[in-house]
Amino acid sequence: MMRGEEDAVRMAATRFYDAIEAMVSGKGLEAMRDAWHHTDRVTSAHPIDDFTEGWEQVWATWKVFEPFGHPDRGGTSIKNLRVHLFGDVAYTTCMFYSAPAFGGERLACTNVLHKKDGVWKVVHHHADKAPKLAAALEKIASEM
């Protein structure tokens, strides 16, 4: 039972990082929307800026990134995804590698997931701060 739940958490976390790759590759945010529970009790801390709280505000931050996606800008990856399970709550840790177009940085990331209505989804995401990412985004924004 435990191994089955750990695998379910791993798949949910992987879907989250697949959604980031889809976003930076210009495929939109539908996968990212699906990766999260949509409640007031979700939080996020991107590689730039502070914590945001509540699904509407978290979603607004993801939509800031969306226009920067492009088929030539993909190339994210993760390594060492670890799952830590506590009943219907779990957290994952991994190293995330941002795409070269966005600074190519190596960031330690933590996600918290909650099993609600039988489905594991993200309720918190936290990434190391990434100055090169911010600089890359500003450069792209100035050239848009």
Partner 1 sequence: MIDVGDGANGFSVAFDRMTQTLQVAGWGFWSSEVAGKFAPAIASAFAKQMCAAVVFDLGRLAPMRDEGQEGWCRSLRLLVGRVRKVTIATGSTLTKLQLLRLSKQFDKELALQWVELDRGGMA
Where does this chain bind partner 1 (CB under 8 A)? 46, 48-50, 52, 54, 56-57, 59-61, 63-64, 67, 134, 137-138, 141-142, 144
- Strand positions, DSSP E, the chain: 43-45, 52-53, 77-86, 89-97, 106-116, 119-127
Q: Which is nearer to partner 1, 21 or 66 (CB)?
A: 66
Helix, strand, coil percentages for the chain (3-state, nearest 5): 45, 30, 25
- Strand positions, DSSP E, 5-118: 43-45, 52-53, 77-86, 89-97, 106-116
Nearest distance from residue 129's CB to partner 1, in Å?
10
Nearest distance from residue 111's CB to partner 1, in Å?
19
Residue 114 φ then ψ, to 5°:
-130, 135
Q: Which is nearer to partner 1, 48 or 95 (CB)?
A: 48
Q: Which is nearer to partner 1, 7 or 138 (CB)?
A: 138
Q: Which is nearer to partner 1, 9 or 47 (CB)?
A: 47
